[in-house]
Amino acid sequence: METFGQRLHRAMAVRGPLCVGIDPHPELLARWGLPDDVEGLSRFAATVVEALGDVVAVAKPQSAFFERFGSAGIAVLESTIRQLRAAGVLVLLDVKRGDIGSTAAAYAAAYLDPASPLAVDAVTASPYLGVGALAPMFDLAAKHGGGVFVLALTSNPEGRAVQHARVSDGRTVAQMVIDEISQLNVGAEPIGSFGLVVGATVGDTGHELSRVNGSLLAPGLGVQGGRPEDLRSVFGQALSAVLPSYSREVLNSGPELSGLRASAERTLAKCRAVLSGPI
């Protein structure tokens, strides 16, 4: 069985280091001339799939913007996941789940069991009930060739108070998360299946990321203020592991397919220039 790390490494080599979020904000639907309802949601998602499904390495639907329409929105999410996977793009579902025991196992089954209608290649997860509480997600991902991206250093200002707090051995909470995920990836080739989420706007944090041996998802680029060149100061020696993530910066170029594709290609070129250059 091919691991998620292997699939991601190949996708980034073939299609380039770019993840595009599918975030149907109400404002974005309006910008595209679409109604803020399930029909608009469905048309928006289908357009993004058609434009970018065979272009980008990773697509990242934001579950919340589908969930807000209830069961009908979840049905659109299921359909979007199927369409993306049929197009050959890796699907990273942005759900940021995090719980304990049987509930964590249920979340794992919902997203990482191939039998689930919501099955994806990887999910985002929150470690703040303890990284060990995510074990059901790690275990099921390993069993079925999936991946998990765990929040480590987020760009929202509220996150710093928690993530930079110190544990008993002097490490920050974020560094503890980084180290535990690094342990899960030991010995994996070419990279492990467990990654971290590190915001592109956090600056030089002084945290050690070079031993993760997994992908480093970098949201916050584009409209949220992050620039490709900022990735150097954030990731340093770990730059080669970075997967830049854009959403509105690319999606604002819709709804025309040509506009979306051209925007993704321009964005990818900027990221390549930074990630392939000297550190």
| CA–CA gap between residue 273 and residue 279 (Å, rounded) | 12
Residue 243 in contact with residue 17, Cβ under 8 Å? yes
Q: Extract the tokens encoding 45.
A: 């998602």
Beta strands 90-97 and 147-153 are unpaired
* Sequence-separated contacts (24+) of 37-40 with Cβ below 8 Å: 37/69, 38/69, 38/72, 38/73, 38/76
Residues paired with residue 58 on neighbouring β-strands, in sequence order: 19, 90
Residue carrying the six token digits 């490709």: 228
- Closest Cα partner for 124 from 26, 252, 238, 21? 21
Active-site entry in 60, 96, 143, 270: 96
State yes or no: is 60 an active-site residue: no
Q: What is the DSSP letter of 192?
A: -
DSSP string, 212-271: --S-EEE--BGGGSB-TTHHHHHHGGGGGGEEEEESHHHHTT-SSHHHHHHHHHHHHHHH
Q: Extract the tokens encoding 257.
A: 């397919």
Residue 88 in contact with residue 6, Cβ under 8 Å? no
Tell me the CA distances in angstroms from 133 to 140, 223, 233, 273, one per residue in order: 13, 33, 31, 38
Question: Which residues carry out catalysis?
Answer: 96
